[in-house]
């Protein structure tokens, strides 16, 4: 009987030790590591769908603690929580057509940084962005109602001059991502946030950082 108790004690001890190591390993993962790993699971069609339980709803009811801010396009094919395999309360997401950023979006980012203590900010552009395609194809046209404001916004981006001149949609998309990233960086102190410029491939589901 004594031998059995000793064996059980050893098994429980080893289990606790391994659990501690596992927990430490998980906590040591950076925010970007977690998001990249989540994207890899999404690409392989093997997502884990974390933080989508009744228990999670009870947790976030008490308060939100998102790990990162994602500024992305409103395109229905580009859902940050799915792309990065995250759940309720994990990401603070701001979405507009062509991830255009005005004072309202900057205020939302500021709230996440100052009150929710988010340091990592991802600007997520994507392949075949409708806002950019419209801009390249109709930059000199008069469009219905509010679309003109969006085209005018893009037209005033310094980074868009060459892509527009060469009628290059892909380069215009990348230029717009970098413009939004620069705009956000310029509104914070250098050590206050880390801004990541990222491009999403619609076919593969892969997110890549650009510079």
CB within 8 Å of 139: residues ≥ 6 apart: 151, 154, 155, 164
What CATH number does the domain containing 142 carry? 3.40.1050.10
The residue range of the domain holding 78 is: 2-209
Q: What is the full per-residue pLDDT of the chain (211 aa) written as tens digits? A: 554 444 434 333 434 333 333 333 344 689 999 999 999 999 999 999 999 999 999 999 999 999 999 999 999 999 999 999 999 999 999 999 999 999 999 999 999 999 999 999 999 999 999 999 999 998 887 787 889 999 999 999 999 999 999 999 999 999 999 999 999 999 999 899 999 999 999 999 999 999 9
Number of domains in the chain: 1
User: What is the reported pTM?
Assistant: 0.84
* Sequence-separated contacts (24+) of 54-57 with Cβ below 8 Å: 56/87, 56/88, 56/89, 57/88
Q: What is the pLDDT of residue 19?
A: 39
- Helix 130-138 crosses helix 147-155 at what angle (to 10 degrees)? 80
pLDDT at 13: 44
């Amino acid at each position: 009987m004594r031998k059995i108790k000793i064996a059980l004690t050893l098994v429980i001890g080893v289990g606790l030790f391994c659990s501690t190591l596992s927990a430490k390993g998980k906590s040591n993962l950076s925010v970007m590591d977690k998001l990249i790993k989540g994207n890899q699971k999404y690409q392989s069609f093997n997502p884990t769908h974390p933080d989508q339980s009744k228990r999670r709803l009870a947790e976030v009811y008490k308060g939100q603690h998102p790990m990162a801010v994602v500024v992305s396009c409103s395109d229905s094919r580009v859902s940050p929580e799915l792309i990065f395999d995250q759940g309720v309360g994990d990401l603070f997401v701001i979405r507009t057509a062509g991830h255009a950023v005005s004072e309202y979006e900057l205020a939302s980012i500021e709230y996440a940084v100052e009150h929710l203590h988010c340091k990592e900010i991802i600007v997520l552009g994507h392949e075949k962005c409708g806002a950019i395609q419209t801009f390249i194809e109709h930059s000199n046209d008069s469009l219905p109602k509010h679309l003109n404001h969006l085209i005018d916004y893009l037209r005033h981006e310094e980074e868009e001059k060459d892509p527009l001149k060469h009628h290059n949609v892909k380069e215009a998309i990348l230029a717009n991502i970098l413009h939004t990233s620069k705009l956000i960086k310029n509104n914070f102190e250098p050590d206050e946030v880390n801004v990541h410029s990222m491009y999403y491939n619609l076919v593969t589901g892969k997110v890549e950082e650009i510079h």
